[in-house]
Amino acid sequence: MNPPLVADTGGLLRALARGPGGGASFPDFEAALVDARAVYVPALILAEVDYFLRDDRAAARALLADILDPKSRYELVVPSAQDLARAVALDEKFAELRLGLAAGTVAATAERLGAYRVLTTDRRDFGALRVGRRFDRPIITLP
Protein backbone atom coordinates (compact mmCIF):
# COMPACT_ATOMS: atom_id res chain seq x y z
CA MET A 1 0.00 0.00 0.00
CA ASN A 2 1.24 3.47 -0.88
CA PRO A 3 1.66 6.43 1.51
CA PRO A 4 -1.36 8.60 2.34
CA LEU A 5 -2.64 11.25 -0.02
CA VAL A 6 -4.74 14.38 0.20
CA ALA A 7 -7.69 14.54 -2.20
CA ASP A 8 -8.40 17.64 -4.23
CA THR A 9 -11.79 18.20 -5.87
CA GLY A 10 -10.95 17.25 -9.46
CA GLY A 11 -8.89 14.25 -8.43
CA LEU A 12 -11.60 12.88 -6.17
CA LEU A 13 -14.30 13.41 -8.79
CA ARG A 14 -12.27 11.60 -11.43
CA ALA A 15 -11.43 8.75 -9.06
CA LEU A 16 -15.14 8.22 -8.40
CA ALA A 17 -16.36 8.69 -11.99
CA ARG A 18 -17.98 5.69 -13.66
CA GLY A 19 -18.55 5.02 -17.33
CA PRO A 20 -21.75 3.63 -18.87
CA GLY A 21 -20.71 0.05 -18.06
CA GLY A 22 -19.94 0.87 -14.43
CA GLY A 23 -16.16 0.73 -14.81
CA ALA A 24 -13.82 3.50 -13.78
CA SER A 25 -13.81 6.40 -16.24
CA PHE A 26 -10.31 7.36 -15.06
CA PRO A 27 -8.63 4.16 -13.86
CA ASP A 28 -5.35 5.85 -12.95
CA PHE A 29 -7.16 8.22 -10.58
CA GLU A 30 -9.15 5.36 -9.07
CA ALA A 31 -5.98 3.28 -8.63
CA ALA A 32 -4.21 6.13 -6.79
CA LEU A 33 -7.17 6.41 -4.42
CA VAL A 34 -7.44 2.65 -3.84
CA ASP A 35 -3.69 2.17 -3.37
CA ALA A 36 -3.25 4.90 -0.74
CA ARG A 37 -2.90 3.83 2.89
CA ALA A 38 -5.11 6.80 3.89
CA VAL A 39 -7.09 9.40 1.96
CA TYR A 40 -7.39 12.78 3.67
CA VAL A 41 -10.38 14.78 2.44
CA PRO A 42 -10.34 18.43 3.51
CA ALA A 43 -13.87 19.54 4.44
CA LEU A 44 -13.82 22.39 1.91
CA ILE A 45 -13.04 19.86 -0.83
CA LEU A 46 -15.95 17.69 0.30
CA ALA A 47 -18.23 20.72 -0.07
CA GLU A 48 -16.96 21.33 -3.62
CA VAL A 49 -17.37 17.65 -4.55
CA ASP A 50 -20.93 17.72 -3.17
CA TYR A 51 -21.66 20.74 -5.37
CA PHE A 52 -20.43 18.95 -8.49
CA LEU A 53 -22.45 15.85 -7.57
CA ARG A 54 -25.67 17.83 -7.12
CA ASP A 55 -27.24 15.89 -10.00
CA ASP A 56 -26.07 12.55 -8.60
CA ARG A 57 -27.17 12.59 -4.98
CA ALA A 58 -26.70 8.81 -4.68
CA ALA A 59 -23.00 9.19 -5.47
CA ALA A 60 -22.69 12.10 -3.04
CA ARG A 61 -24.37 10.11 -0.27
CA ALA A 62 -22.22 7.04 -0.97
CA LEU A 63 -19.03 9.12 -0.78
CA LEU A 64 -20.10 10.71 2.49
CA ALA A 65 -20.97 7.28 3.92
CA ASP A 66 -17.47 6.05 2.96
CA ILE A 67 -15.80 9.08 4.51
CA LEU A 68 -17.78 8.69 7.74
CA ASP A 69 -17.18 4.92 7.96
CA PRO A 70 -14.48 4.42 10.62
CA LYS A 71 -13.30 1.28 8.77
CA SER A 72 -12.56 3.13 5.53
CA ARG A 73 -9.23 4.71 4.58
CA TYR A 74 -10.96 8.06 4.19
CA GLU A 75 -10.46 10.69 6.85
CA LEU A 76 -12.39 13.94 6.87
CA VAL A 77 -10.08 16.81 7.78
CA VAL A 78 -11.86 19.81 9.24
CA PRO A 79 -9.60 22.84 8.86
CA SER A 80 -8.42 24.50 12.02
CA ALA A 81 -7.98 28.25 12.28
CA GLN A 82 -4.25 27.65 11.73
CA ASP A 83 -4.99 25.64 8.55
CA LEU A 84 -7.14 28.45 7.20
CA ALA A 85 -4.49 31.03 8.05
CA ARG A 86 -1.86 28.89 6.34
CA ALA A 87 -4.10 28.47 3.29
CA VAL A 88 -4.41 32.26 3.04
CA ALA A 89 -0.64 32.65 3.50
CA LEU A 90 0.05 30.12 0.72
CA ASP A 91 -2.45 31.88 -1.54
CA GLU A 92 -0.63 35.16 -0.89
CA LYS A 93 2.88 33.69 -1.28
CA PHE A 94 1.94 32.02 -4.57
CA ALA A 95 -0.44 34.76 -5.75
CA GLU A 96 0.24 34.03 -9.43
CA LEU A 97 -1.33 30.58 -8.98
CA ARG A 98 -4.61 32.04 -7.64
CA LEU A 99 -5.08 29.02 -5.37
CA GLY A 100 -8.05 30.22 -3.37
CA LEU A 101 -9.16 28.86 -0.03
CA ALA A 102 -10.12 25.31 -1.05
CA ALA A 103 -6.84 24.50 -2.82
CA GLY A 104 -4.99 26.36 -0.09
CA THR A 105 -6.48 24.04 2.52
CA VAL A 106 -5.37 21.04 0.46
CA ALA A 107 -1.81 22.36 0.61
CA ALA A 108 -2.09 23.31 4.30
CA THR A 109 -3.45 19.85 5.11
CA ALA A 110 -0.65 18.17 3.15
CA GLU A 111 1.89 20.29 4.99
CA ARG A 112 0.45 19.73 8.48
CA LEU A 113 -0.02 15.97 8.06
CA GLY A 114 3.20 15.40 6.13
CA ALA A 115 1.15 13.81 3.33
CA TYR A 116 2.68 15.54 0.31
CA ARG A 117 0.94 13.38 -2.32
CA VAL A 118 -2.14 15.14 -3.74
CA LEU A 119 -4.73 13.49 -5.99
CA THR A 120 -5.60 16.31 -8.37
CA THR A 121 -6.32 17.34 -11.92
CA ASP A 122 -4.57 20.65 -11.23
CA ARG A 123 -0.98 19.62 -11.96
CA ARG A 124 0.08 23.12 -12.99
CA ASP A 125 -0.74 24.83 -9.70
CA PHE A 126 0.07 22.03 -7.27
CA GLY A 127 3.22 21.19 -9.24
CA ALA A 128 4.48 24.76 -8.81
CA LEU A 129 3.45 25.06 -5.17
CA ARG A 130 5.97 24.57 -2.35
CA VAL A 131 5.12 24.04 1.30
CA GLY A 132 7.09 23.76 4.51
CA ARG A 133 8.70 26.34 6.75
CA ARG A 134 11.06 27.43 3.97
CA PHE A 135 8.65 26.69 1.10
CA ASP A 136 11.07 24.03 -0.07
CA ARG A 137 8.86 20.93 0.00
CA PRO A 138 7.18 20.09 -3.33
CA ILE A 139 3.71 18.65 -3.64
CA ILE A 140 3.67 15.34 -5.53
CA THR A 141 0.71 15.35 -7.90
CA LEU A 142 -1.12 12.11 -8.58
CA PRO A 143 -1.77 10.22 -10.70
Superfamily of chain region 5-142: 5'-nuclease (3.40.50.1010)
Tell me, what's the pLDDT at 137? 96
pLDDT beneath 70: ranges in the chain:
none
pLDDT of residue 1: 85
Look up the pTM and report it. 0.94
- DSSP line for 75-86: EEEPPPHHHHHH
According to DSSP, the residues that pair with 5 across neighbouring strands are 39
Q: In this predicted structure, what is the pLDDT of residue 68?
A: 93
Please write the tens of the pLDDT for every residue from 10-41: 999 999 999 999 999 999 999 999 999 999 99
pLDDT, residue 143, reads: 94
Domains of the chain, residue spans: 5-142
Question: Which residues are bridge partners to 7 per DSSP?
Answer: 119
Contact criterion met (CB below 8 Å) for 5 and 40:
yes
Phi and psi at 39, nearest 5°, equal -125, 110
